[in-house]
Amino acid sequence: MRVFIDANVIISVFNREYPLFIYSTRILSLCNSDRFELFTSPLCLAIAFYFSSKKSGEKMAKNKIQTLLENISLTTVDDSVARQTADDPRINDFEDGLEYYSAIKESCKAIITEDKDDFYFSEIEVLNCSEFLISHC
């Protein structure tokens, strides 16, 4: 199953944000499972880098990004993704739309986020970390 990981899940791992860290680390560990293929977007990486660098410095944040990139795949945010987002009247937050359509482009079947309401327009499953673990693991 292809799964899109939102920035807030990555940030919780990078910054060890409890209590979410307990669940978000389990989500990222699914990269070792044959059942799941994890994706995130370059935009999510930029957001995660920003918040991680504020807590642990730019060098450490970059190291965390490099480690993450060894274990998950990236979606593409390109012209078609931007146009789909701009053309969709349901989408108010452009960033969330970019993430959604980049996940769709990679055939992701679910989005894992702690801000489920941000994806109110989604036609694919949107779950928080604990819901995903209960439903799919």
Structure tokens at 134: 């209960």
Quick one: what percent of the chain has pLDDT higher than 70?
100
CATH number reported for the structural domain that contains residue 19 in this entry? 3.40.50.1010
Backbone dihedral angles phi then psi of residue 18, each to the nearest 5 degrees:
-85, 150
Per DSSP, which regions of 1-137 are E strands?
2-5, 37-40, 73-74, 110-112, 125-127
Q: 85-106: per-residue pLDDT in tens? A: 999 999 999 999 999 999 999 9
The whole-number average pLDDT for the span 128-133 is: 98
Per-residue exposure over 70-96, b if at least 16 CB sit within 10 Å of its own CB, e if not: eebeebebeeebeebbeeeeebeeeeb
Domain hosting 40: range is: 2-136
The contacts found for 61-65 with CB under 8 angstroms, 24 or more apart, are 61/14, 64/14
Mean pLDDT, the chain, whole residue set: 97
Counting the structural domains of the chain, the total is 1
- Residue 93 has what pLDDT? 96
pLDDT value for 36: 98
Count of Cβ atoms closer than 10 Å to residue 58 Cβ? 12
Q: pLDDT digit string (tens) for 107-116? A: 999 999 999 9
pLDDT tens readout for residues 26-58: 999 999 999 999 999 999 999 999 999 999 999
Cα-based distances in Å from 24 to 18, 86, 89, 105: 10, 30, 31, 24
pTM above 0.85, yes or no: yes
- Residue 99: name the closest of 50, 115, 65 by CA: 115
Of 49, 43, 42, 44, nearest to 65 (Cα)?
49
